[in-house]
Chains A and B, each alone.
Chain A
Amino acid sequence: MSEQALLDVRGLTVRFGGFTALSDVSLSIAPGEVRVIIGPNGAGKTTLLDVLCGKTRATSGSIVFEGVDLASVSEYQITRLGVGRKFQTPSVYEDLTVYQNLEISVLEGQSLRSSIFGARGEFHDRIIEVARTTEIESLLNQRAGTLSHGQKQWLEIGMLLVQRPKLILLDEPVAGMSLRERDRTVELLQRIAERQAIVVIEHDMDFVRKLSRHVTVLHQGAILCEGNVETVQSDARVREVYLGE
């Protein structure tokens, strides 16, 4: 099983001083899989994504992505290996246009040489394609700082897509969105899920049901249970700690 896994996490523990944010977490993501991680506040969900993308370092345990141990790989190299991260609050480059935001996110154009001497419009087709997928095509020439909250979120997802990652890490992608924006985002993610693996943190059970077959429940830094939505929802411990029953 772990032979074909895209991402294999074993015994992951993260401590901040005396506080244990994650303890002995193991999980495995297959290529193309969509995995939702749920859990109450402080369960360690965001910390888990932080460790996967290199923002935070593990105290112990291993993270292997496509056979590469990520323990000593720096953030930018993890991104270049094919792990894309979307942060909870929209993180786009506000002083650049939407087009430029997408353009500088293309991994192939990131060497000094390419960014200085690369042909103008080198990645135009890819950018247009992603803008179409994320439905921000009409905004390409706007400054990213002028976008609405929802549009920024889509742009940031677009910035991940132009990187052509193998695994996308999303931290509450629909937080703060209107119902309509929510629906659009779910559709978008469903489309994206056909092409690469996604690990997504979300609270909203409706959203979870629409998106995923496989759910992992975190509680106090440890995995409480894992399974499909129905199994998880009927699990007594989950109902107790998470659904508040």
Chain B
Amino acid sequence: MRRSSFPVGAVLAPVLIFTVLAILPLMSDPFRVPLFGKYLSFAFVAIGIVLIWGYCGILSLGQGIFFGIGAYALAMYLKLEASAPELPDFMVWSSVEELPLWWEPFHSLGVALAAILVLPALVSFPLSYLIFRKRVSGVYFAILTLALSLTLTVLIIGSQGGTGGANGITDFSTLNGIDVASDEARAHWYYVQLVLLAVAAVAVGFLVRARFGKVLIAIRDREDRVRFSGYDTALYKAFTFSVASVLASIGGAMFVLFTGLITPQLVGAVASVEMVIFAAFGGRMSIMGAIAAAFLVGWLKSMLSETFPELWLFFLGALFLIVTAVMPQGLAGIADALWARLSGRSS
């Protein structure tokens, strides 16, 4: 762990990043703003990965699962509101004649919001607690989560009538009467998201600075020893994993607001691995790095896939290799080094 020997830098980075993110929409084409919103929705996931991977050493390649829970929960609500009083269009196309029972609660915004915030924890906590108690960790946990996200993708695609299948759910109009479809409306939602992101960053920052954060580092480095210090490490890991899953879920819901779409691809393995790369690129232990990286990589992805659509994955792979080999501390490491040089200190 690098101790922040210059508190000025620790304050400077968040102020700088959030100022830039706040000003950016004012200086860009309105049609770009929803894209910025989309990039930032992944920042929630990336912050969660910083917490579980950077601090606690849990590599999850299944964060898409929780991203998907939040995204589908909100999409279902939006879809019902957009198609009321009719059935959602994709159900009609699949000759579903009655709304499936499990869709009913999503008429209520309250239920949808609760599902976004609580459901991921209800899924991730018991599941991961059992896994961690069996002392499954490291690469085995990564494979397990990867398999789960693949399975979920297949399940969603397979139930065309209930989930929209491979096409996903799209075509929304309003959220509780508030426009979510136009570029202007999304510009407003952008600032809502920015506030939520700040809250998430502060909350995770609080967690890692508390004694809790030190326990996570201890678990990452020497889990067996931590047990003999008196900790139920499985409980700590499961709790941390659930916090990250809730963050991913919030990101998923935000993604739906900005793209007006959720498809099973976002739940799947490639998306889940991309999310880990955001965190690696930002610096595994840096919250601000994760935010900056989610935004920058998202932007790069847009630019590259506009010009060379087939090259994106190669680029992503190269990025991951470069980060791992040359800049293990990611953007945060570079920023630290720059700051040290600027302030005339050699570190």
Is chain B found bound to chain A in the same assembly? yes
* Interface segment, one of B14-22, B74-82, B103-111, B217-225: B217-225
Partner of B229, one of A116, A118, A163: A163
- DSSP majority for the B interface? helix
* Interface segment, one of A37-45, A73-81, A204-212: A73-81
| Complex Cα–Cα for A98 and B233 (A) | 21
Q: Name B2's closest neighbour in chain A (CB-CB).
A: A95
Are B210 and A118 neighbours in the complex by a CB distance under 8 Å? yes
Give chain A residues whose Cβ lies under 8 Å from the Cβ of B217.
93, 95-96
Are B229 and A79 neighbours in the complex by a CB distance under 8 Å? yes
User: Which residues of B21-38 are within 8 A (CB) of A?
Assistant: none
Are B214 and A76 neighbours in the complex by a CB distance under 8 Å? no
Are B210 and A76 neighbours in the complex by a CB distance under 8 Å? no
B345 within 8 A of A: no
User: Which residues of A98-138 are within 8 A (CB) of B?
Assistant: 100, 103-105, 107, 109-110, 112, 114-118
- Size category, A interface: 20 to 34
| Complex Cα–Cα for A85 and B215 (A) | 18
Partner of B221, one of A94, A103, A163: A94
Are B231 and A93 neighbours in the complex by a CB distance under 8 Å? no
Are B212 and A76 neighbours in the complex by a CB distance under 8 Å? no
Partner of B228, one of A79, A94, A112: A79
Partner of B233, one of A53, A76, A93: A76
Are B221 and A75 neighbours in the complex by a CB distance under 8 Å? no
B341 within 8 A of A: no
Are A85 and B228 neighbours in the complex by a CB distance under 8 Å? yes
Partner of A112, one of B225, B230, B236: B236
Q: A75-B228, A76-B227, A105-B229 are in contact. Are A93 and B222 (CB under 8 A)?
A: yes
B312 within 8 A of A: no
**Taking the nearest CB of chain A, how far is it from the CB of B137, in angstroms?**
16
A222 within 8 A of B: no
* Interface size, chain B (Cβ < 8 Å): 22
Q: A76-B227, A79-B229, A96-B1 are in contact. Are A117 and B222 (CB under 8 A)?
A: no
| Complex Cα–Cα for A109 and B212 (A) | 10
User: Which residues of A219-242 are within 8 A (CB) of B?
Assistant: none
| Complex Cα–Cα for A103 and B236 (A) | 17
Partner of A115, one of B1, B210, B221, B222: B210
Q: Which of A87, A104, A117, A118 has the most CB of B within 10 A?
A: A104
Q: Name A117's closest neighbour in chain B (CB-CB).
A: B210
Give chain A residues whose Cβ lies under 8 Å from the Cβ of B231.
76, 110
Q: A110-B230, A110-B231, A163-B230 are in contact. Are A93 and B211 (CB under 8 A)?
A: no
Residues of A in contact with B (beta carbons under 8 Å apart): 53, 55, 74-76, 79-80, 84-85, 87, 91, 93-96, 100, 103-105, 107, 109-110, 112, 114-118, 159, 163
Residues of B in contact with A (beta carbons under 8 Å apart): 1, 207, 210-212, 214-215, 217-218, 221-222, 225, 227-233, 235-236, 239
What 12 additional pairs, Cβ within 8 angstroms, besides A105-B230, A110-B215? A76-B230, A79-B228, A80-B230, A84-B228, A93-B214, A93-B221, A93-B222, A95-B221, A110-B231, A112-B239, A115-B211, A118-B210
Q: List 10 A-B contacts (CB under 8 A).
A: A76-B228, A84-B228, A85-B228, A91-B222, A103-B211, A103-B214, A107-B230, A110-B229, A112-B236, A116-B212
